[in-house]
Amino acid sequence: MKVFILSCLLAVASVQSVVAQVLIAPEAANATISDSALLKSAKPSITTLSSVQVLAENDLEVGGAKYPFILLPNGHTAALSARGCQKLGEQLYTVQDHALPSVQKMLAKHAGKSTRFYIGSGRNTTTSCSVLTMTKGVASINNKASCKASLPALCSNTNTKGSTVTVQASLGRLTGLRDKHGFRFNGIRYAQPPTGKRRFAAPVPITTRWNNNVDATKLGGICPQPAGGSDDCLFLNVFTPKLNAGKSGLLPVMFYIHGGSFINGAGSDPSFDGANMASRGQVVIVTINYRLGIFGFFERVDAGISRKTIPGNQGVRDQLLALKWVQDNIASFGGDPRQVTAFGESAGGHSIRALLSMPVAAKGLFRAAIAQSDPLDIPFNTAKSASQVVSGGIMKILGCADKDINCMRSKNTTEIIRAQTAVVSQAIALAPEESFMELIKPTVDGILIHNQFDQLIAGKNGGVVRVPFMIGTMKNEGNGFLPSLGQTTPVRDIVFGITADAFLGYQRAMITAAYNLYPIDDSIPDATRIVEGLLASDYLWICPTQFITKAWATQVKTPLYHYQFQRAYSPTRPVSDICHGLVCHGDDIGIVFASPAVLNNPSEYPWTSDDAALSRQVMDRWIAFGVTGGNPNTSDEYPAWPLYDATKQSIYMFDLKPTISTGGLRPQFCGFMDQALKYDFQLYV
């Protein structure tokens, strides 16, 4: 197995104290390299390099990155460069004519000021070597160059099967994987296992160095949820194209928080595989697990249990600790802790809202934020709902007395999840002021979160984290949730009133019916569910998002960008599927990540050239926002995305041919929501 060791000495105090070097160990000595003469002349000692960076032309088409190669930017003679490639299990890269344009493009974009690079030719000798030269962005090859100059080098990147890499992080060594996209480190612990007495407690950071090398080639376990999982689940994953970057070469970091209504999901889900985003954008991707359900949001302040004993918002605290881990450790993986963008979808978007609502606890942990499909009309929980309805209800089912934390800690995860499911299924009856979609969620606890988001935006209770903000929705957010109301097939028009009652409550449902803004055309197949989907989308996502963006633009005044997807990635759906032909909640994930799990599985996930084109457009916008720290504009290839302001209300409409909408989305309906119905975060606090 091919192994190379990368040693990063990270002083905790600041990024400026990072000293990075790559030590290529002799485990790969059996690798075959054509430049034998160079190898014979090379010293047999370990080669020291400043950085290793994987580059490729990644157009997000089926199959992923093309013409991958490895850049060794530290200057060495040709002989030592060839040996450096060998220690990676590779050869000096022989640039074929058909690959030259891609190599040229990658070097022009990512090689900095370097203009000459050793490459392979099969004809290299100790006195005459092949060098690729970049002149004004154009590459040429000289096969008779000197071999003694100290130059960066290009290595092949083909022998990746079973290839591992070991990095020296601040707490010890971790061994991850190398592939054509870059490097990945899976299942890294960022906190001590929240088991035993640490169940329901605040997460505890890992501060003791580990003595043994940590295997980061396998994914960590998922947090307890209906599909399984265990308490020992606080892991994160790192995808990076670059290691030992040096203080001047660190890459921006994209920190992703998964969705799942705060009761499902994991950062290790293949849908969130960050390899393609890291490769195309030359950024570092971090995905995390955080505690879900009652494990992540248990509290009993109503029963007299202080927050010093059981703090509540454990899942949010996990996210904060993972962000702090990034600050302390990500430089060892090529990432810049000063350039972190936090982003998330659905409950992950809701988590971004929570992080933005913590100007003290989240200070300095990220410099920009993206909220995808945050159901903004679902407010943070009140302490009463979180303590009495959710936690108290679960304890009652489990037969635990109000203050008996030991009883709760003694129950196995299956018992607790079963009780949690029972309480969530009764959400409408138990807490009519709470949404049946997210009964368990972050709470206004008076410690981390001091008020609802709209109030914080208005400047109350310390305000919000003032960073550039991107936020948006899907065109048909709500349709996919109708089956959770039992509507798996078309329903009669009389059911609309029942559905409106479930979303809005009786009084507001009656007001909606009186205004007749959502008429049902019985001549259209499945008309009732189509209209219900419009109502759900307007009420939970589209209209409250516009309400919040107008408030942010007026009050916070940091750079703000608003979008909506008019097209997204939808795996093959039967005509009977309620989201067939629509742009539903979650359909942006495949486009944002272009996960290899999607691109390399055409039988299950048909990926077309149009999907790839849209994915390039969206991913480039996300990456640009992260790289610049708040500007999604990339090039003249796409329309300029204007800053959002409360007057023009310019919204970027993602499609194969994107457009800019002004004046807001669905103004008649959102005006009705703003004025006649109001939002849950205004009414139920």
**How far is residue 342 CA from its own chain's centroid?**
7
Question: Is residue 528 a contact partner of residue 493, using CB atoms and an 8 Å limit?
Answer: yes
Exactly one of 76, 258, 562, 585 is catalytic; name it. 585
Between strands 651-654 and 659-661, the pairing is antiparallel
* 36 tagged catalytic: no
Angle CA(91)–CA(94)–CA(100) in degrees, nearest 5?
140
| Cα→Cα distances 117→143, 151, 279, 531, Å | 12, 6, 21, 61
Question: Per 3-state DSSP, what percentage of the chain is helix, strand, and coil (rounded to 5)?
Answer: 35, 20, 45
Which residue is catalytic, options 345, 438, 477, 532? Answer: 477
Q: What counts of helices (H) and strands (E) characterise the chain?
A: 22, 23
Dist CA 369 CA 29 (whole Å): 45
Q: Is 465 in contact with 363 (CB distance < 8 Å)?
A: yes
Question: Which of 306, 598, 314, 626 has its CA nearest to residue 440?
Answer: 314
Nearest to 333, CA basis, from 170, 481, 465, 446: 170
Q: What is the DSSP string of 204-230?
A: ----SPPSSPEE-SSPPPPPSBTTB--
Q: Label each residue of 367-420 as H, E or C.
A: CEEEEECCCCCCCCECHHHHHHHHHHHHHHHHCCCCCCHHHHHHCCHHHHHHHH
DSSP three-state, residue 4: strand
Q: Catalytic site residue 477?
A: yes
Q: Where are the beta strands (DSSP E) in 412-507?
A: 469-474
Catalytic residue among 81, 346, 391, 435: 346
**Contact status, residue 174 vs residue 186, Cβ threshold 8 Å:** no
Residue 299 among the catalytic residues:
no
Q: And the tokens for 315?
A: 């899942």
CA atoms within 13 A on the CB side of 149: 14
Phi, psi of 591 (to 5 degrees): -75, -40
Q: What residues pair up with 116 in beta bridges, in sequence order?
A: 133
Angle between helices 495-504 and 506-515 (to 10 degrees): 130
Taking the CB of residue 16, how many other CB atoms lie within 10 A of it? 8
**Which residues belong to the active site?**
346, 477, 585
